[in-house]
């Protein structure tokens, strides 16, 4: 962060008009700059070729662009791509491009590290260092979008905020990044192609409803009784299932959006028919779909992958209760890019941790 300079991507278009006029330039220049920042994803003022050299120098004098860069990239045998993005010296986040037959999904991060310490998640072992800016979030999408087009000749179809961090604890920047991604002045993607996943911050789920967001909400549930959920997710002690149920109902009433419930299934912990019955009872509160997610082991983790037969029986029970169920098979396990594995065995992140411990 250059001393004395402001991050130009922090300004809305209206704010940018004001600051550009204060520099003695005409207001239409703000539209040109904004287009370079968000539609063309310029990472330097030098790239803004339709602006005069003197104006570019003026921008350089007063502002900086909080662009990210790629530190490391791995490609799985199933074509999943995991990227380690450098945010600033010693700080790394990860993003993943997940190709399937029906969709091309970018899984992106919202924080450097995470404060929630869920026991099954590699990212939860990292300390929370800081929130990402809206620009740093959008940069991940742009890079993975370009990878989809260049490597697989396929457009990006979906974006999920399911990488490192808890999105609703970085509410302002996450919501703004969604607005930029879906704006015609930005990437122009439909907000219905965007899903923000939360471990369950009831107050902020209600705020999503109050703000009438257009993107999708996913709640990482993983257990439908408080005793079990407390064991694996500390956040449940302050945001219990009854509070989450009421918050989700409120969100649906405000937005009319269907909610996704995510359920990582662990061997001999939450994979019984009794667990399925509890999940069915909880999820009846709103129109929803349920994603049953195959567990991906992490180093020194306490859980194991559930048996395939139990997963099928679990899903079949839910379907018998007229619930929409998808079983999500792991992608990118060989490069630790699967759900819950981000930051597991990552060379770039291990290096950054050494720098930070210094």
Catalytic residue among 25, 71, 83, 94: 94
- Is residue 1, in this structure, part of any structural domain at all? no
Which CATH number belongs to the domain containing residue 85 in this structure? Answer: 3.20.20.70
User: Are 100 and 157 members of one domain?
Assistant: yes
Query: In the 8-state DSSP scheme, what is residue 94?
Result: E
Residue written as tokens 């923000």? 196
Q: Tokens 């999820």, residue?
A: 283
Return the higher-pLDDT residue of 344 and 92.
Answer: 92
Beta pairing class for 194-198 and 158-161: parallel
151 shares a domain with 25: no
Q: Which of 289, 95, 281, 120 is nearest to 199 (CA)?
A: 120
Asked if residue 341 has pLDDT above 50, the reply is no
pLDDT exceeding 70 applies to what percent of the chain?
Answer: 90
- CATH value at residue 26: 1.10.150.530
pLDDT of the residue at 300 = 62
Among the three residues 27, 43, 64, which one is the final residue of a domain in this structure?
A: 64
On whether both 54 and 74 belong to a single domain, the answer is: no
Note whether 87 and 189 are same-domain residues: yes
- Within 13 Å, how many C-alpha atoms sit on residue 172's CB side? 5
Task: State the residue for tokens 């808890």.
Answer: 166
For residue 358, pLDDT over 60 is answered with no
pLDDT digit string (tens) for 226-283?
999 999 999 999 999 999 999 999 999 999 999 999 999 999 999 999 999 999 999 9
Q: Take residue 333 and report the two structure tokens written for it.
A: 């396990």
Tell whether 100 is covered by a domain. Answer: yes
Domain boundary among the residues 49, 64, 79 is at 64
Grade residue 3 by pLDDT with cuts at 50, 70 and 90: confident
Burial of residue 325 (number of CB atoms within 10 Å: 0-12, 13-18, 19+): buried
Together in a domain, 197 and 315: yes
Indicate whether 232 belongs to any domain. yes
Q: Name the residue range of residue 42's domain.
A: 6-64
Whole-number Å distance between alpha carbons of 180 and 131: 17
CA dist 23 → 19, 30, 71 (Å): 6, 11, 35
What backbone torsions phi and psi does residue 3 show, to the nearest 5 degrees?
-65, 135
The SS3 assignment for 160 reads strand
User: Mean pLDDT in the chain?
Assistant: 90
In a shared domain, residues 46 and 73: no
Residue 25 within any structural domain of the chain:
yes
Show the DSSP H helices in 153-259 as ranges.
171-182, 202-210, 226-232, 241-255
> Is the Cα torsion angle 288, 247, 110, 5 positive or negative in sign?
positive
How many domains are there within the chain?
Answer: 2
Are 236 and 346 part of one and the same domain?
Answer: yes
Beginning with the edge strand found earlier in the chain, give each strand of the sheet holding 216-220 in spatial order.
69-75, 81-88, 91-99, 104-107, 158-161, 194-198, 216-220, 259-265, 288-294, 324-328
Question: Is 111 a member of any domain?
Answer: yes
User: Domain end: 20, 43, 64, which one?
Assistant: 64
Task: Name the strand (E) or helix (H) holding 130.
Answer: strand 130-131
Q: Where does residue 261 rank: exposed (0-12), middle (13-18), buried (19+ CB within 10 A)? A: buried
Q: What is the pLDDT of residue 111?
A: 95
339 included as an active-site residue: yes
Residue 74 covered by a domain: yes
pLDDT of residue 328: 84
Q: Could you tell me if 136 and 47 lie in one domain?
A: no
The model carries a pTM of 0.90
Angstrom distance (rounded) from CA 216 to CA 182:
13
| Residues 14 and 84 grouped into a single domain | no
pLDDT for residue 88: 81
SS3 string, 269-312, reads CCCCHHHHHHHHHHHCCCCEEEEEEECCCCCCCCCCECCHHHHH
| 315 and 203 together in one domain | yes
Cβ 233 vs Cβ 118: under 8 Å:
yes
CA distance linking residue 267 with residue 100, whole number of Å: 26
User: Is 138 among the domain residues?
Assistant: yes
Three-class DSSP category at 131: strand
pLDDT in tens, 263-274: 999 999 999 999
The stretches of 122-240 forming alpha helices (DSSP H) are 134-152, 171-182, 202-210, 226-232
Same domain, yes or no: 79 and 92: yes
Same domain? 318 vs 181 = yes
Please report whether residue 316 resides in a domain. yes
Residue 208 neighbours by CB distance under 10 Å: 24
């Amino acid at each position: 962060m250059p001393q004395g300079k402001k991050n130009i991507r922090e300004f809305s278009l209206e704010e940018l008009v004001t600051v550009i006029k204060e520099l003695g330039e005409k207001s239409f220049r703000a539209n040109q700059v904004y287009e370079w920042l968000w539609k063309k994803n310029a990472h330097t003022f030098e790239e803004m070729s339709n602006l005069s050299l003197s104006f570019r120098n003026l921008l350089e004098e007063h502002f900086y662009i909080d662009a990210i860069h790629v530190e490391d990239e791995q490609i799985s045998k199933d074509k999943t791509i995991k990227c380690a993005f450098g945010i600033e010296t010693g700080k790394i986040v990860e993003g993943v491009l997940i190709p399937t037959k029906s969709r091309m999904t970018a899984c992106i991060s919202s924080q450097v590290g995470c404060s929630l310490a869920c026991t099954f998640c590699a990212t939860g072992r990292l300390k929370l260092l800081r929130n990402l800016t809206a620009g740093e979030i959008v940069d991940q999408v742009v890079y993975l979008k370009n990878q989809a087009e260049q490597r697989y000749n396929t457009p990006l179809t979906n974006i999920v905020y399911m990488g490192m961090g808890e999105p609703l604890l970085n509410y302002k920047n996450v919501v703004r990044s969604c607005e930029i991604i879906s704006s015609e002045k930005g990437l122009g993607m439909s907000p219905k192609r965007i899903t923000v996943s939360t471990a369950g911050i009831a107050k902020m789920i209600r705020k999503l409803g109050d703000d009438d967001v257009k993107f999708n909400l996913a709640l990482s549930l993983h257990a439908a009784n408080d005793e079990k959920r407390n064991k694996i997710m500390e956040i449940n002690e302050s945001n219990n299932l009854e509070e989450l149920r009421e918050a989700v109902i409120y969100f649906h009433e405000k937005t009319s959006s269907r909610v996704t419930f995510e359920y990582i299934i662990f061997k001999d912990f939450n994979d019984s028919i009794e667990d399925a019955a509890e999940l069915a009872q909880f999820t009846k509160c709103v129109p929803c779909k349920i994603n049953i997610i195959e567990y991906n082991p992490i180093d020194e983790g306490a859980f194991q992958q559930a048996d395939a037969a139990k997963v099928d029986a679990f899903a079949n029970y839910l379907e018998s209760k007229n619930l929409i169920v998808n079983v999500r098979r792991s992608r990118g396990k060989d490069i630790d890019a699967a759900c819950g594995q981000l930051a597991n065995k990552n060379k770039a992140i291990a290096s950054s941790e050494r720098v930070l411990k210094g």
